Amino acid sequence: MNREEKILLATISIGLAILFIISLALAIQVSELKSANLALSKRTSELENSLTALLDEKRQMEAVVRRYRLSRPTLEQLQMFLWIDATNWNSYSPDSYVCINYAKDLKEAARLQGYNISFIVVNVKGYSYYGGITFGHAFNGAILADGRRVYIEPSKDLIVFDIEDILKRTEPGRLCYSFKILTMAEVW
Ligand SMILES: [Ca+2]
């Protein structure tokens, strides 16, 4: 082997060595990419599972909201609700359980049955043959499914279309022939 042939052989050997190193580096890179791809697939799968769980939860929450969305009762539903509900049986006590308590408890009981009824409080001037008297009272109201406005006396299971029919049944109002509502607030 002459000198030129030796140089050629050495050059080829070096070239082959460089090619080997490059192919080794590429193989390592491919392996790393495969690992990264696998991790990404795993993460994608985890995210898809989380999304499915979240969508399930959303569907369940929507069902709960539908169940608890308050509705306007029909007159018959309101009568039936009052008949079954026991708020009117609570004992009146001037010190601890008065009209505001009946009205508050009836509103809460109606809400648990899915009905939207209001809490109403009024200050009233009543006119009797013995003179005028100012008093306050709390009761409930509802807008029926057919749009009619009614008022409810929660201590008597009474439904009326005119507030005066409730005021006439209060202790200070029973002797009055007419009423003037001075202030009124209604909470739905
Ligand atoms: Ca009742």
Q: Which residue shows structure tokens 């008297």?
A: 133
Residue in 136, 156, 142, 123 with CA at minimum distance from that of residue 76: 142
For the stretch 4-45, pLDDT in tens is 899 999 999 999 999 999 999 999 999 999 999 999 999 999
95 φ, ψ (degrees, to nearest 5)? -90, -25
**Residue that wins the pLDDT comparison between 171 and 65:** 171
Is the pLDDT at 153 greater than 90, yes or no? yes
Q: For position 64, what pLDDT does the model report?
A: 78
* pLDDT(142) > 90: yes
Q: How far is the CA of 157 from the centre of ligand 1 (A)?
A: 6
pTM score above 0.75 = no
What CATH fold (topology level) applies to the domain 75-187?
Beta Polymerase; domain 2 (3.30.460)
pLDDT-derived band of residue 67, with 50, 70 and 90 as boundaries? low
Q: How far is the CA of 128 from the centre of ligand 1 (A)?
A: 31
State the distance from the centre of ligand 1 to the C-alpha of 89, rounded, in angstroms: 7
Give me the residue spans of the domains in the chain. 1-69, 75-187
